[in-house]
Amino acid sequence: MKIAVLGTGMVGRTIAGALAGLGHDVVIGTRDPQATLARTEPDMMGAAPFAQWHAANPGISLAPFADAAAGVELIVNATNGAGSLAALTAAGTENVAGKVIMDISNPLDFSQGMPPSLNPVNTDSLGEQIQRTFPEARVVKTLNTMNASVMVDPARVAGGDHTVFVSGNDADAKAAVTDLLKGFGHRDVIDLGDITSARGAEMLMPIWLRIWGALGTGAFNFKIAR
């Protein structure tokens, strides 16, 4: 499948690499490819400059958001939550219309310091904001409840015996995303319902961050025992 991964951070790189490894034709979207490749400092999360990763992954091209999103079958939103609407707007309404958007973003708000809070929260979610802004897109919130490396290699935690959620209004879009999740090795995919259920998935972030702090590692995940 032709897939655009919007986002050059740890999540975008990890998802793009895994999708390419599964045989998909992957392009990464960014605001300004030249500026992205010119960075020499690690990002906010300590990830090495993008150019280093790109040199090691020459089969994955880099393009402005709109060029990346044009002509693909599926779009992954792996952009910073505060910039996701801007990134998808830059991708172009015409380029996202009708397409599945696999939305991994979290609406983390660092304006009050650490730990971040969520904005929106409770009565709205970033997944819903994206769906409202792009009504012709088919948004599926997923994978936002775990660390990037666990997203594409669930077996690294408890042999893969843990849970991933999907939220979205379109059953076919959720089925397409579930196929990708299973390709990564996820076995327990819970369909939470329509896109309003993304509120629940995003609101797992405060407890995820506290567990991360308590364990000192992101190599864990939620398992829904039942």
Ligand X SMILES: NC(=O)c1ccc[n+]([C@@H]2O[C@H](COP(=O)([O-])OP(=O)(O)OC[C@H]3O[C@@H](n4cnc5c(N)ncnc54)[C@H](OP(=O)(O)O)[C@@H]3O)[C@@H](O)[C@H]2O)c1
Residues that bind ligand X (CB under 6 A): 7-12, 30-31, 36, 43-45, 78-81, 83, 86-87, 104-106, 108, 144, 147-148
Work out the angle at residue 72's Cα, subtended by the Cα atoms of residues 58 and 78, and round it to the nearest 5 degrees.
70
Residue closer to ligand X (CB basis): 110 or 172: 110
The kind and range of the H/E element at 190 are strand 188-193
CB 18 → ligand X: shortest distance, Å?
A: 13
Q: What is the CA radius of gyration of the chain?
A: 16
Nearer residue to ligand X within complex by CB, 37 or 172: 37
Give the total residue count for the chain.
226
Going by the DSSP 8-state scheme, the letter that residue 176 receives in this structure is: H
**Cβ 110 to ligand X, closest distance in Å?**
10
Minimum separation from the CB atom of position 218 to ligand X (A) = 6
Strands of the chain, DSSP E? 2-6, 25-30, 61-64, 74-77, 100-103, 108-109, 117-118, 138-142, 163-168, 188-193
* Between 34 and 226, CB nearer to ligand X: 34
The least CB distance from residue 14 to ligand X, in Å, is 8
Between 31 and 156, name the residue whose CB sits nearer to ligand X: 31
Q: How do strand 117-118 and strand 61-64 relate by DSSP bridges?
A: unpaired
The greatest distance separating any two alpha carbons of the chain, rounded to the nearest whole angstrom, comes to: 49
Of 21 and 64, nearer to ligand X (C-beta) is 64
Minimum distance, C-beta of residue 103 to ligand X, in the bound complex (Å): 9
